[in-house]
Amino acid sequence: MNDRIMPEWAEPDNKEFTSFVMKGVKLEKNESQKKVQRKNLEIKDYVQGVLDRNVMIISKTITLVESNNPQHIEITQQVLKDLLPHTGNSIRIGITGPPGAGKSTFIEAFGNFLCNLGKRVAVLAIDPSSTITGGSILGDKTRMEILSRQENAFIRPSPSGGTLGGVAKKTRETILICEAAGYDVILIETIGVGQSEITVRSMVDFFMLMLLPGSGDELQGIKKGVVEIADCLVVNKADGNYKDRANMTKAAYSYAVHLLTQATSGWITEVTTCSALNNEGIDNIWQIINKFEQNTKSSGVFDSRRKEQLLDWMHSMLEEALKTNFFSNPKIKSEIPNLKNDILEAKITPTTAVQILLNKAGLI
Ligand SMILES: Nc1nc2c(ncn2[C@@H]2O[C@H](COP(=O)(O)OP(=O)(O)OP(=O)(O)O)[C@@H](O)[C@H]2O)c(=O)[nH]1
Ligand SMILES: [Mg+2]
C-alpha cells in the first residue's frame, strides 16, 4: 500500500479516510527539451539553437540580448560573434506612421502574404511609448492573430521600459539573431512620434511611412523630415467611404515628394494606397520593395548603406559608452556640484568647467 498516497487535505492520522491519490507520472524529456529547460544555456547552445531555427532558443537568445546584466552582455557578444557569419541575408523593412494608421493590421496582412509566398518573417516592434500607453503590445498580439500562428513567422514585441537608445541597440542585435535564424524578411514597426523613426531608419534597408486618408490638402501633421526619410508612402484604409479620400491623399503626397529630398539616392519615393483590412494593394507593396532591392543592389547603394549603418552603430554606441563612463566616474560626480556653484557665482565660465571635468577624467 506504499504507493497509495493520502491527499494533502486528509488529516494525517485519519485511517478512515477513503480517498487516495495516484503518484504523478514523470515524463522523460528528450535531449533538446532538456537543453532548453536547463537554466544556463552555454554559448554553443544558443548559437546552435538559433542556427537550428529553434524558436524557443531564438526567444531566449533575444532575452539574453535584452539583458543589461554585465555577465549576460559578455555572453551575448560571444553568441553574436559566432552568429555574425550567418547574418545579413534578409531585407530589413521599417514601418512607421501616426498612431492608428494601421501599421499592425498591415503587418498582419503583409506578413501572411509573405508566409504564403514561402518567406520566413520576423516582426519586431520599437515602441518608445509602450511604457506610457502600456497596452499597445497586447493590442498588437490580438491584431496579429493569424500571423502569430504561422509557422514561418516570429513576432517579438519591444522590451518595455527601455530608453529609445537602449531599445534601438537591442533591436539591432535582435535583427542579427533573426537573420542567423533564417528569417528572410524583417519587419520593424515603430510609432511615428519623436525620434524613433530616425532610429529605425538607421537600421533598415527600406523605410515605409503609413498614412491615413486625409482631406488631401494637408500633410496630417507629419513632419517634412519624416517624409524625407521614407522610401515609400502608403495611404492605408483605401476602402469603403475612405477610398476617394485615400486617393486624394495619395495625389497630394505624390506631388509633395517631388519637392522634397529623396531618402535613398537613385530611388524616387513611391506613393501608393492599400487596405490592410481587406488585403488590397499588399502584393503591389511587395513589388515596390522588390524593385527597390534590385535597384539599390545593382547601384551599390544597398551595400554602402548597410556599411554606413554599421559604422553609425559603432559611433552611437561609443558615444553612449563614453557618456555613461564619464558620468559614473566618482571624481566627476563629486566635482560637478562645486563647478555648478562656481558657474552660478560667476567665478568661472561653463567652458572652463568643462575643461576642468575633462581634465579630471583624463580625457585632455
Ligand atoms: N477601414 C480600415 N480600417 C483599418 C485598416 N487597417 C487598420 N484599420 C483599423 O484601424 C485601427 C488601428 O489599426 P492598427 O493596426 O492598430 O494601427 P497602428 O498603426 O498599428 O496603431 P498603433 O500601433 O497604436 O500606432 C484598427 O481599428 C484597425 O482595424 C484598413 O485598411 N481599413
Ligand atoms: Mg501598432
HSE of 275, CA atoms in CB hemisphere, 13 A:
14
**Which residues share a beta bridge with 270?**
232
- Which of 66-70, 102-106, 183-187 ranks highest by mean pLDDT? 183-187
- Which of 158-167, 215-224, 271-280, 317-326 ranks highest by mean pLDDT? 271-280
Q: Relative to the alpha carbon of 108, which ligand is closest? A: 1
The structural domains of the chain, with segments of one domain joined by +, span 87-304, 315-360
Beta-strand pair 153-156/121-126: parallel
**Index of the ligand 1 atom closest to the CA of residue 242:** 1
Mean pLDDT of 287-293: 98
Cα 14 to middle of ligand 1, angstroms:
63
Residue in 105, 189, 208, 209 to alter for ligand 1 test, most ligand atoms within 8 A of Cβ: 105
Residue type, 286: W
Contact assessment for residue 122 and residue 153, using Cβ atoms and an 8 Å cutoff: yes
Cα 237 to middle of ligand 1, angstroms:
8
Cα 210 to middle of ligand 1, angstroms:
10
Domain spanning 87-304, CATH architecture: 3-Layer(aba) Sandwich (3.40)
* pLDDT 10s digits, 222-233: 677 888 999 999
pLDDT at 291 over 80: yes
224 burial level (CB within 10 Å; 0-12, 13-18, 19+): exposed
Residues 6+ apart with CB under 8 A from 9: none
pLDDT at position 167:
59
pLDDT at 107 over 60: yes
**Index of the ligand 1 atom closest to the CA of residue 276:** 31
> Distance (Å, rounded) from C-alpha 115 to C-alpha 151?
9
Q: Which residues line ligand 1 (CB under 6 A)?
A: 97, 99-105, 136, 143, 191, 236-237, 239, 275-277
Contact assessment for residue 269 and residue 228, using Cβ atoms and an 8 Å cutoff: no
Beta-strand pair 121-126/185-190: parallel
> Distance (Å, rounded) from C-alpha 320 to C-alpha 66?
16
pLDDT at position 199:
86
DSSP H or E stretch at residue 126: strand 121-126
Cα 75 to middle of ligand 1, angstroms:
39
